[in-house]
Amino acid sequence: MTPGNQQDIFISTIEAHKGILYKIVNTYCKDEEDRKDLSQEIVIKLWKSFESFDPRFRYSTWMYKIALNVAISHYRKEKRRKNISSPYPESIFNLSDTPVESQTEIHGSFLSRFISQLKELDKALMLLYLEEKSHKEIAEILGITETNVATRIGRIKVVLKQKFSQTIT
């Protein structure tokens, strides 16, 4: 495979899974500048790891592992990331239009807010749960047992329900 060819395959892979990356960046960063930096850092880490990608695994699993690891490390590397922040004023991921906010979308934004308030690892867990990953896959990505996955999801859902009822009433 030529380097140019590999770059094209990489770009198509990112294109096909852009939603995953956008959601992770969105969940872990509130600030727009931070999001730009984090997107870029994730993409660089993915590219570095792309050559050694094992085709026996799914692209999405590989992407979740790297993107979540980079995003979780983000808060401990804040200073470092500022130093390497991109000179580009644009972002890798852009929305072509601004979605209109319906009632459901407002509730959706509450959900995003509550998720972003969770602890770093719980955020990752809930993100995978909301993306309808099986407990087995979540356990594989996070490196914990399936029983632990189920227990923690149950607990976090109780907290989320409480937050919703407090906010909406």
Partner 1 sequence: MEETNFILLWKEQYEKIDQSLVINKRLLKESISQKAESQLQSLIRSKAIGAVIAVLYLVLLGIVLSYAILNYSPTAIYFIMSIGSIFLINVKALHDYIKHLVWANNIDYNGDVVAIQQKLTRLQLSIANHIRVMFLQLPFWTTFYLSSEWFPAEMGWRYIVFQIFLTGSFAYLAYFLFRNLTLANLNKKWVRSLLSGAGGKKVMKALAFYQEIESFKAG
Residues of span 22-61 touching partner 1 by CB under 8 A: 22-23, 40, 43-45, 47, 49, 52-53
Beta carbon nearer to partner 1, 4 or 31: 4
The residue from 24, 70, 74, 137 that contacts partner 1 (CB under 8 A) is: 70
Task: Kindly write out the interface string for residues 99-138 of this chain, putting x where it contacts partner 1 by CB under 8 A and - elsewhere.
Answer: x----xx-xxx-xx------xxxx-x----xxxx------
Q: Is 47 exposed, middle or buried (0-12, 13-18, 19+ CB in 10 A)?
A: middle
Select from 24, 25, 29, 68 the one that contacts partner 1 (CB under 8 A).
68
Number of residues located near partner 1, criterion CB under 8 A: 72
Q: By the 8 A CB rule, do 50 and 10 touch?
A: yes
How far apart are CB 33 and partner 1 at their closest, in Å?
Answer: 15
Q: Are 141 and 133 in contact (CB under 8 A)?
A: yes
Question: CB-wise, 15 or 31, nearer to partner 1?
Answer: 15
Q: In the numeric block, which tokens belong to residue 91? A: 């972002």
Q: Least CB distance from residue 107 to partner 1, whole Å?
A: 6
- Between residues 29 and 68, which has the closer beta carbon with respect to partner 1? 68
**Which of 139, 162, 165 minimizes the C-alpha distance to 152?**
139
Please give the helix or strand (H or E) that residue 2 lies within, else none: none
Q: From the list 30, 58, 80, 113, which residue makes contact with partner 1 (rule: CB under 8 A)?
A: 80
Least distance in angstroms from the C-beta of 49 to partner 1: 5
Can you say whether the dihedral through the CA atoms of 45, 26, 20, 15 is positive or negative? Answer: negative
Contact 54, 100 (CB under 8 A): no
25/19 Cα distance (integer angstroms) = 10
**Of 136, 157, 159, 167, the one binding partner 1 by CB under 8 A:** 157
